[in-house]
Amino acid sequence: MAPAAASQHDQSSTAGQMRLGLEIRRRAMPEREITNKQTIRTLYEEVLNEGRLELLDQIAWPEHVEHNPFPHQSQGAEGLKQRASMVRAAFNPHFTIEHVIAEGDKVAIMWSNQGTHVGDWFGFAPTGKNVAAHGVDIFLLRDGRLAEHWDVVDTTDFLIKVGVLPDPAASAESRR
């Protein structure tokens, strides 16, 4: 093969390999994202809603990193068990998954939560009141297992029900 022809052959071969590589990644990504989303659904539906804490040994890495830990919460899968136990003991919650978005190894979830304040929550004695919370969590997964977690949670309803914040409805009623 002449040098110019060989060069063109190498370039077209390289371009073909690149296209093949992109096609393989396109096919593999959705499967990984589907698996990652299922892991998150397991966390909310089976661990948090049903109390199946033992599943955390399967879906979380032992060295899991919690970027916004509760006071006195450990890191790792054991820390996740502590976190889930604390939430379940304080609120007997039911989480509803509103949205789940996956891209590569990251999954973002928007959720809502209804529960009853039945246990101590960081010094707030149980009130027996129904409470709601809403949040967005972002997870980094490795090989389909939880590796890192960040969250933002709106606890306004809880703070109103335990008397830390004024109830806007009661305030409006008293002004009439």
CATH number for 10: 3.10.450.50
Flag whether pLDDT at 28 surpasses 60.
no
Summarize pLDDT for 123-144 with one digit per residue, the tens: 999 999 999 999 999 999 999 9
pLDDT of the residue at 109: 99
Spell out the long-range contacts of 42-47 with Cβ–Cβ below 8 A and sequence spacing 24 or more: 43/146, 44/95, 44/97, 44/109, 44/111, 45/95, 45/97, 47/84
Residue 4 amino acid letter? A
pLDDT of the residue at 3: 59
Worst-scoring range by mean pLDDT, 45-59, 77-91, 142-156, 158-172?
158-172
Q: Which domain holds residue 98?
A: 3-174
**The dihedral formed by the CA atoms of 88, 93, 94 and 100, expressed in degrees to the nearest 10:** -70
**pTM attached to this predicted model:** 0.78
pLDDT of the residue at 101: 96
pLDDT of the residue at 71: 93
Flag whether pLDDT at 30 surpasses 90.
no
Element (H, E) at 153: strand 145-154
130 and 116 Cβ atoms separated by less than 8 Å: yes
Q: What is the tally of structural domains in the chain? A: 1
Element (H, E) at 87: helix 76-91
Report residue 92's pLDDT band, with 50, 70 and 90 as the boundaries.
Answer: very high
Flag whether pLDDT at 48 surpasses 80.
yes
> Using CA atoms, how far apart are residues 73 and 81, in angstroms rounded to an integer?
9
Flag whether pLDDT at 175 surpasses 90.
no
> Using CA atoms, how far apart are residues 82 and 78, in angstroms rounded to an integer?
6
Region 56-84 average pLDDT: 97
pLDDT of the residue at 170: 76
Flag whether pLDDT at 26 surpasses 70.
no
